[in-house]
Amino acid sequence: MANPARLNRDVAQAFALTELRTFRLPGGSPYALVSHCPEAGVISDFWLGSFGSQAEFRAVLDFVAGEIEAGRYRLWLADLRYMSTGFGNSNEWLVGDLMPRVLRGGLVREAVVLTEDSGVPEGYDVFGSATGALRR
C-alpha cells in the first residue's frame, strides 16, 4: 500500500498552481485569482468574496475561456468556496456563450468546489446553466 503522506505530497506537486492573473475591483481589492499548472493542463479560478458586477464576473471567465481556446489548458478547476455574490444574471451568457466556447476550445473536464454546506439537497444541480449548455 502506498504511503499516504508521500501520495499527498506527490499529488500536491503534480498539480501545484501558480498565479497567472489577479482580478481587482476598482478600489484595488482582489476578487478573483486565476492560477495554472501548465504541465498538467490545468487552469483554476479562485473567488474572494464579492466580484461587484456581472461584468467583473464575466471578465474572469472570459479570460479563462480565452486561455482554454488558445489550447493551453484542458482541465478547469473553479473554486467558489469564498464567492459571496450570485451569478444568476449571467446564466444565459454562461449557457449561450461561455460553455460552448470552452467546449469547442478543448475543455475535457471542469471541477467545481463549493462550500461544505451549500444548503441544497444532494444531487441538486446548483449550476443548471452548465447542464443547459451541455444539453444544447
Classify residue 22: in a domain, yes or no: yes
In terms of residue numbers, what domain contains 79?
A: 14-135
Classify residue 120: in a domain, yes or no: yes
pLDDT surpassing 80 at residue 126 = no
User: Which pLDDT score, from 0 to 100, does residue 4 have?
Assistant: 58
Give the CATH number, domain containing residue 59: 3.30.750
- Number of domains the chain is built from: 1
Produce one character per residue of 52-69: b if its CB has 16 or more CB atoms within 10 Å, e if not.
beeebbbebbebbbebbe
User: Which pLDDT score, from 0 to 100, does residue 108 have?
Assistant: 96
Classify residue 117: in a domain, yes or no: yes
Instruction: State the pTM of this model.
Output: 0.80
* Position with higher pLDDT, 86 vs 12: 86
Q: What is the mean pLDDT of the chain?
A: 84
